[in-house]
Amino acid sequence: MLRLRASEIAEAVGGRLVGDDVLVTGSVETDSRLVEAGGLFFAMPGETTDGHRFIDAALERGAALVVAEREVEQDVPHILVPSGVTALQSLAADVIRRVRAANELTVVGITGSNGKTTTKNMLQAALERHGATVSPVKSFNNEVGAPMTMLRIDEGTRYLVLEMGASYEGDIARLTALSHPDIGVVLKVGLAHAGEFGGIETTTRAKTEMVRDLAPEHVAILNRDDERVRGMAAATAARVAWFGTDPGPADDPTGLWADGVDSTLEGTVATVHRGEESWPLRMRILGEHHVMNALAALAVVDVLGLDVAQAIEDVASMPRAERGRMEVLEPGGGITVINDAYNASPDSTAAALRALAHMTRQAGRRSVAVLGEMAELGPHAVEEHDRLGRLVTRLRIERLVVVGAGAKPIHDAAELESSFGQDTTWVATADEAEALLRAELVEGDVVLLKSSNVSGLLALAERIGTR
């Protein structure tokens, strides 16, 4: 965070300063437990609690200034605003403006139904050798999380990488208006958050918002393999660069593409091409679908005029995509656990299942899938879970354990599709799944755990993977 006076912050957020014009030297936080000496605490109402209740805790940790939506009883300089979220966003936009004026700052926005966090991590690994790089912690990509990432930059920041998520149309447009990306990346359009969006066409419009609002001097990097993303080229005034497994027409070779894609339990390989040049890519990250994320990150590097070959080495050196994202755990006893339970959508779950089937078949090992609910699918929930159960059977995954009421259609469909009903089991809780797995797993088993975070399989994967 930049060092700013309380009066400067008040002007940026359109608020009224009460108390001394203190200098803020620490970070901006919405969680009082993370406040540091000299920092700024945003006291905002939340879904389960109210940040105004934690002002005392923030002061005990050294907060110099508070932004609040109502009068503050404590003796501390504070800024009164109508909306804490709006104020947070306004401050983030002001900080980006100040840093751009003081230094060369490149902002990269990444959106898509799947792969944002993995692509962000790959890009962080590739860019940080070229200059100070700020990117989101975990998956901070919404109306609060994205501004919090923006507020971590200072005069020395060279690259700011943002994830842009959305629950509703207009969300990405607002984040784009705050940050004004120089480069916008669209990975994929799928059914993630379909419950809020209402369908794939609405999702497409929402994901288009970022490239639609790019200026002509900016660059839109688009997935040539995805028909809906490919169509976004007509919606942007920016220059378009491509990535994918499709090299594109001979008269439009712009961008990177890959072939020779394969994945084993040791990692994922491909050959990356740009024009007449080619480079081998050997990642420790599992799953052929992660090649697309790597290509997106490398395309940003290429657009920036940086060394693609070096970036490939940086991506190859990553030990994992992220905690809970195709993370390999070896608990001993010849068992391999793949923890992919941080989040799930129909597309990402299907990709993980295909990876499990392919890798175990190559290695001659037994495949075990532990699947929980995919959240936020709204009216599509039963259909999409049913579809996964049938996919498990078609892929010949040898053992299926389904966890939770929301995921039960996976089990029902697999049982109907398969002549081996005993190979699929439904349990109500993660604890029941743990007991079953500990009783059944044997040497040589490869266990994939995949679900949305709400299902509790992330913690289960870590327990099973570290026994």
Q: Is residue 37 a contact partner of residue 95, using CB atoms and an 8 Å limit?
A: no
The reply, when asked if residue 116 is annotated as ligand binding, is yes
The reply, when asked if residue 117 is annotated as ligand binding, is yes
Backbone angles phi, psi at 234, to 5 degrees: -80, -10
Residue 75 CB contacts under 8 Å (≥ 6 apart), including other chains: none
The reply, when asked if residue 51 is annotated as ligand binding, is no
The reply, when asked if residue 389 is annotated as ligand binding, is no
Q: Is residue 52 a contact partner of residue 68, using CB atoms and an 8 Å limit?
A: yes
Query: Cα–Cα distances in Å, from 22 out to 18, 81, 88, 265?
Result: 11, 18, 18, 55
Measured between alpha carbons, how far is 87 from 79 in angstroms, rounded to an integer?
A: 10
- Strand partners of residue 322: 325
Measured between alpha carbons, how far is 371 from 391 in angstroms, rounded to an integer?
A: 12
The reply, when asked if residue 114 is annotated as ligand binding, is yes
Q: Is residue 366 a contact partner of residue 376, using CB atoms and an 8 Å limit?
A: no
The reply, when asked if residue 339 is annotated as ligand binding, is no
The reply, when asked if residue 118 is annotated as ligand binding, is yes
Q: Is residue 124 a contact partner of residue 116, using CB atoms and an 8 Å limit?
A: no
Burial of 107 (0-12, 13-18, 19+ CB in 10 A): buried
Residues of each annotated binding site: 112-118
Residues of each annotated binding site for ATP: 112-118
